[in-house]
Every structure is written in structure tokens, then in C-alpha cells.
Amino acid sequence: MKFDYSAGFIVYKMVKEKAMFLFLIKQDGTYDVPKGIIEKGESAEDAATRETREEANVSVEKIPFFKRKGRFSFYKRKERHLKELTLFLGRFKRGPVKISYEHKGYKWMAYGEAMEKIGYKDLKEALDSANDYIGKKAEIDKINEDYSGLPKRAKKWNLSRTFVQGIGPVNSRTVFLGQAPGAEEDAQKIPFVGRSGKLLDSLLRRSGIRRDCIYITSVVQFFPPRNRIPSRKEIVLCMPFLLRQLKAINPKYIVFLGNVSASAFFNGHKAVAHHGKVITKDGVTYMFTLHPAAVLRFKKFEVIMLSDLKKFSNIMRNSADL
Ligand code: URA
């Protein structure tokens, strides 16, 4: 058996707010995306970028976090091949589209037409997921633009004016929810990059949860100066934006890191008293654990948080969501 590792891009451009996808037409008339074998020493992303340039003369802006991996087998000259294909999502940056000798044409197609024309099942699933991702990302970008303008519109504003948007795949099944960004997050405009974030990374790794598979954000997405706990009023002001973000992402699991996020959704719930607890309500499973900042303060909490995360990791894995 021969093993092939290939990578490519699902390339799209927005035309009147509608995503149009680029397909190359093979000599046998089937439709495919630019893709090819990953050469020795190349990363999957490098290979996808090179193939897209070579096969279509196109450069793209890679959409972070979107990645589809599929495995399938086929016979070529009586030999069985196992192919692993990694597809990324890329927004068309530069062309013009020029096809190589390998193809006889190309076509930009909207989602509906492409789903009718594509023959490969895996490619159909990848396109479906890409189309969903583009829609969710556009929705999240719109909410974040609105949210980031809140300091200007609010009568009184005692938080930082720097908006720290969530990070991770917008189609993730799992959202981790903290309290509010700290000073380092405020400076870098990225959640959980300070000491708490580094500890969270390590706890996730040790519990088998991949950070690039989860979406991480906080109840309040502006830094409360001197690292104070956001006030009730601030939480109430910010909550509608978080609820809109969650509606767009539509996660199956929400993990509360600490009291602020737990009590924003379940009144009276406390991180220490209810850690490890799991509640399923309206199709969403909520999990309670400590905030990594509490673990930094009290070392003895580390085993507790790690065991909670391992428990959640098992729940997610058992339902094939990890
Ligand atoms: N702590 C939080 O609760 N949120 C962040 O974004 C960073 C640290």
C-alpha cells in the first residue's frame, strides 16, 4: 500500500456578500480544488499554498483555524493508495486565475451550484463546512465590530477601551469562558496570553484538549483596570454581545472558568463549590471549573482543575467532539 499526503485550499471570494468558490475542471470533467502532494520538508500549509499558485496562479489569505482532514483509499495501477488530504480555507487575494496543463478549465461557483456539480463526497462535506465557517465568521466579525464600539456609546465607561476578541475556530463545538482580559491580553489584544493563559495551555495539553480546536473568550471582553472583577453593571452591559457570539458559534459545550462566567449563566454557582459539575440544558452541556488565575494563587487547586478538564475531555471525546 502506498501513502499519499496531500493538501490544498478551498478558495473563495465574496461577490455582493455571497461566497463564490473556485473549482478547477479536470480533464475528465470532474470538479476539484487546487491541491497536490506534500513534498518532503514541506508543511501541509506550504504545500497547499504552492499548489494553489502552481495549479491556478492564485494567492490567498488563509482563514485561521479552518482545517479539514480526510482519509480515503483508491487503486492506481492495481496498487492500493491511502490518501490523507488536508484542506485549508483561503480568501482570494491575487490572480488572475490561470490554469496549468493538468486542468481544462475553472469555474467560480456559489455554494448551491458547487454542491450539485461536485462528485466527491469528502469534498462536498469540506465545502459544506467551509461555507458554514464563512457565514459564522462574518456574523462574529459583525458582532465584534458592534461590541468594540461599546465604550464610545456607553454613558459611563470604566474598562479599557481596547476590545479583546475571542480566539479559536468559530465553528468549534466547545467554548471556554473566562472572566475578563488581563493587562497582557489588553496589550496584545488576544485572550489568555498572560500567565493565566500559559497555565491554561499547559492544563489543556495535559488533559488532551487541543487549544486550536476550542474557542476561548471571556464574559467581559475589555480589561478592567488593576485587574479588578468586572462590576455587575459591566457584566449586564456586555452580556448581550456574548450571547450573540454564542448564538453564532452554537457550541455544544461551554466550560466556565471561575465564578464570573459560572454565575453569569447560573445564578449562585461558585467555581470552588461546583467545580467538576456538568449540567445539560437546551442541548448545551455546561461544565464548571476554576479560573487558572486561582490556580496561580493557590497551587493546591492545580490537581482539581486538571481533574475537571480531564473529565470534560473524556465527555467530549466520548461523543466524538474532540
Ligand atoms: N483571564 C480571563 O478571564 N480572560 C482572559 O482573556 C484572560 C485572562
HEC assignment per residue over 63-87 = EEEEEEEEEEEEEECCEEEEEEEEE
> Residues 289, 315: contact at Cβ < 8 Å?
no
> Please, what sign has the CA dihedral across residues 311, 313, 316, 317?
negative
Give the domain-ending residue among 93, 113, 136: 136
Structural domain includes residue 188: yes
Compare 188 and 17 and report the one with higher pLDDT: 188
Residue 2 C-alpha cell reads as: 502506498
pLDDT band per the 50, 70, 90 thresholds, residue 299 = very high
Instruction: Confirm or reject: Cβ of 218 under 6 Å from ligand 1.
Output: yes
Domain co-membership, 125 together with 53: yes
Cell 442541548 locates to 283
- Using CB atoms within 10 A of its CB, is residue 124 exposed (0-12), middle (13-18) or buried (19+)? middle
Could you tell me if 302 and 234 lie in one domain?
A: yes
Residue 301: which pLDDT band, with cuts at 50, 70 and 90? Answer: very high
**Under a CB-based contact definition with an 8 Å cutoff, are residues 271 and 289 in contact?**
yes
Q: According to the model, what pLDDT value does residue 318 have?
A: 81
Which numbered atom of ligand 1 lies nearest the CA of 293? 1
- For residue 320, pLDDT beyond 80: no
Question: Per-residue pLDDT averaged across 95-111, rounded?
Answer: 94
Q: Which residues is 2 bridged to in the sheet?
A: 81
* 181 CB within 6 A, ligand 1: yes
Q: Is residue 143 a part of any domain in this protein?
A: no
Return the amino acid letter for 210: R
Name, in order, each residue with C-beta under 8 angstroms of 170's C-beta and a sequence gap of 6 or more.
Answer: 65, 133, 136, 137, 140, 215, 248, 249
- Integer Cα distance of 292 and 117 in angstroms: 49
Give CA 168 to chain center in angstroms: 4
pLDDT tens digits, 54-69: 999 999 999 999 999 9
Question: 160 CB under 6 A from ligand 1?
Answer: no
User: Does 132 lie in the same domain as 206?
Assistant: no
CA distance 51 to 103: 13
Which CATH number do you get for residue 8? 3.90.79.10
- What pLDDT, in 10s, does the model give residues 115-165? 999 988 899 999 999 999 999 999 999 999 999 999 999 999 999 999 999
Same domain, 83 and 196: no
Burial of residue 63, with CB atoms counted within 10 A of its CB: 0-12 exposed, 13-18 middle, 19 or more buried = buried
Split at pLDDT 50, 70, 90, the class of 79 is confident
229 and 174 together in one domain: yes
Question: Is 99 in contact with 56 (CB distance < 8 Å)?
Answer: yes
Segment 164-174 mean pLDDT: 97
Does residue 152 come out as left (phi exceeding 0), alpha (psi in the -120 to 50 range) or beta?
Answer: alpha
The region of weakest confidence among 64-78, 141-155, 297-311 is: 64-78
In angstroms, the CA 7 to CA 51 distance is: 8
Residue 8 domain-assigned (yes or no): yes
Counting ligand 1 atoms within 8 A of each CB, the residue from 159, 192, 203, 260 with the most, and so the one to mutate, is 192
| 103 and 179, same domain (yes or no) | no
> Can you tell me the mean pLDDT for 73-100?
91
Q: What is the mean pLDDT of residues 300-316?
A: 96
Based on the fold, state whether residues 165 and 70 are members of the same structural domain.
Answer: no
Residues 129 and 154 in one domain: no
- Helices and strands (H, E) in the chain, number of each type: 11, 12
Kindly report, residue by residue over 190-245, the tens digit of the pLDDT. Answer: 999 999 999 999 999 999 999 999 999 999 999 999 999 999 999 999 999 999 99
Q: Per-residue DSSP letters for 260-321? A: HHHHHHSTT--HHHHTT-EEEETTEEEEEE--HHHHHH-TTHHHHHHHHHHHHHHHHHHTT-
Q: What digits encode the pLDDT tens for the residues 9-51? A: 999 999 999 999 999 999 999 999 999 999 999 999 999 999 9
Which residue, 110, 136, 115, 138, is CA-closest to 125?
115
Give a yes or no: residue 144 inside a domain.
Answer: no
- Model confidence pLDDT, tens digit, residues 248-262: 999 999 999 999 999
Q: Which atom of ligand 1 is nearest to the CA of 257?
A: 3
The answer to whether the predicted template modeling score (pTM) of the entire model surpasses 0.85 is yes
The domain boundary residue, chosen from 136, 169, 201? 136
Return the pLDDT at 76: 80
Is the domain of 111 the same as that of 191?
Answer: no
Domain that holds residue 289: 150-318
Mean pLDDT of 68-84: 86
Collapsed DSSP state (helix, strand, coil) of residue 191:
coil
The answer to whether residue 141 is domain-embedded is: no
Residue 142 lies in a domain: no
- CA separation for the pair 67, 192 (Å, rounded): 22
Q: Are residues 273 and 229 in the same domain?
A: yes
Q: What percent of the chain has pLDDT over 90?
A: 87
Q: How many domains does the chain have?
A: 2
Quick one: average pLDDT of 95-99?
93
Q: Whose CA is nearest to atom 5 of ligand 1?
A: 181
Highest averaged pLDDT of the listed ranges 94-103, 197-206, 263-272 = 197-206
- 109 in a domain, yes or no? yes
Question: Would you say residue 145 lies in a domain?
Answer: no
**CATH number of the domain bearing residue 289:** 3.40.470.10
**What distance in angstroms lies between residue 200's CA and the mean position of ligand 1's atoms?**
10
Do 111 and 238 sit in the same domain of this protein? no
Q: What is the band of 83 on the pLDDT scale with cuts at 50, 70, 90?
A: confident
pLDDT at position 167 is 98
Quick one: which atom of ligand 1 is closest to the CA of 164? Answer: 6
- Same domain flag for 76 and 115: yes
Distance 61 CA to ligand 1 centre (A): 28
Of 174, 207, 176, nearest to 290 by C-alpha is 176
Dist. CA 289 → ligand 1 center (Å)? 14
Question: What's the CA gap between 170 and 214, in Å, rounded?
Answer: 9
Residue ending a domain, among 81, 113, 136, is 136
